[in-house]
Amino acid sequence: MERVVCSFEGGKGPLFVVSAAMHGNETSGIAALKETCEILNHEKKTNPDLKFRGTFAGILGNIQAINKNVRYIENDLNRMWESDFVYDILKEDVNKQMNEVKEMHEIIITLRNYVITGKYNKLYLLDLHTTSSDGIFVICTEDKESKQIAGHLHAPLVRGLLKGISGTTLHYFNKNNLGIEATALAFEGGHHEDPLSVKKNGCRHIQLYEKYWLHRRYGRS
């Protein structure tokens, strides 16, 4: 499986990263990414007026766990994003690393390859998940913009959840760790097995892109 499921590039704008299956058994986000790519590519071909600002990059989380349809192999990939830990693993050879450490290292390399182009001054992360219950909700950070965007996603918003846990993507994706301004959110799209979770997950990043960036931040031309 390729780490980058979809990379759709437009004009000047932010880097919008949507990650799916940080937990390997939560695959509806992958299907949502694929659908989004199809929509974007179709739009590009059929709509000459399409103005796309920034880059949309759909990436996979825990590929080894996806292949085994398990949440993780050895460690929960969404509890390992501690600055010091990431810093240390990046000093080692990725080819000699195992399981989730290797996954994390490869994700960082993938993101760095975008960031070092110098094209972006802002990164947005939407981390897609599903749960063992039917509920859908958005998790934001205490960052002002994260809260603001969450309010546009038309789903219940959960705040304070990050205080009880550590090492999630939302804890890591900020300017101190990535070198560029970063705003992160997570979206829980419903039950793991519910086919509608794909639509809900896909819908949210389309919604986020259209309603927030095109209209509010950059203005639609």
Report the nearest approach of Zn ion to the CB of residue 132 (Å): 10
Q: Under the criterion CB under 5 A, does residue 137 sit at the interface with Zn ion?
A: no
Count of residues of this chain found to bind Zn ion when the rule CB under 5 A is applied: 3
Q: Under the criterion CB under 5 A, does residue 190 sit at the interface with Zn ion?
A: no
Q: Under the criterion CB under 5 A, does residue 81 sit at the interface with Zn ion?
A: no
The answer to whether 170 and 184 have CB atoms below 8 angstroms apart is: yes
End-to-end Cα separation, the chain, in angstroms: 37
Nearer to Zn ion, 23 or 105 (CB): 23
Nearer to Zn ion, 23 or 204 (CB): 23
Nearest CA among 183, 150, 201, 203 for reference residue 14: 183
Q: Which residues contact 36 (CB under 8 A, 6 or more apart)?
A: 6, 18, 56, 58, 202, 205, 206
Q: Under the criterion CB under 5 A, does residue 53 sit at the interface with Zn ion?
A: no
For residue 122, what are the β-bridge partners? 181
Q: Under the criterion CB under 5 A, does residue 171 sit at the interface with Zn ion?
A: no
Q: What is the largest CA-CA distance in the chain?
A: 48
Nearer to Zn ion, 128 or 203 (CB): 128
Q: Under the criterion CB under 5 A, does residue 205 sit at the interface with Zn ion?
A: no
- Can you tell me which of 53, 105, 129, 171 binds Zn ion, judged by CB under 5 A? 129
Q: Is 23 exposed, middle or buried (0-12, 13-18, 19+ CB in 10 A)?
A: buried
- Can you tell me which of 15, 18, 21, 23 binds Zn ion, judged by CB under 5 A? 23
Report the nearest approach of Zn ion to the CB of residue 169 (Å): 10
The residues binding Zn ion (CB under 5 A) are: 23, 26, 129
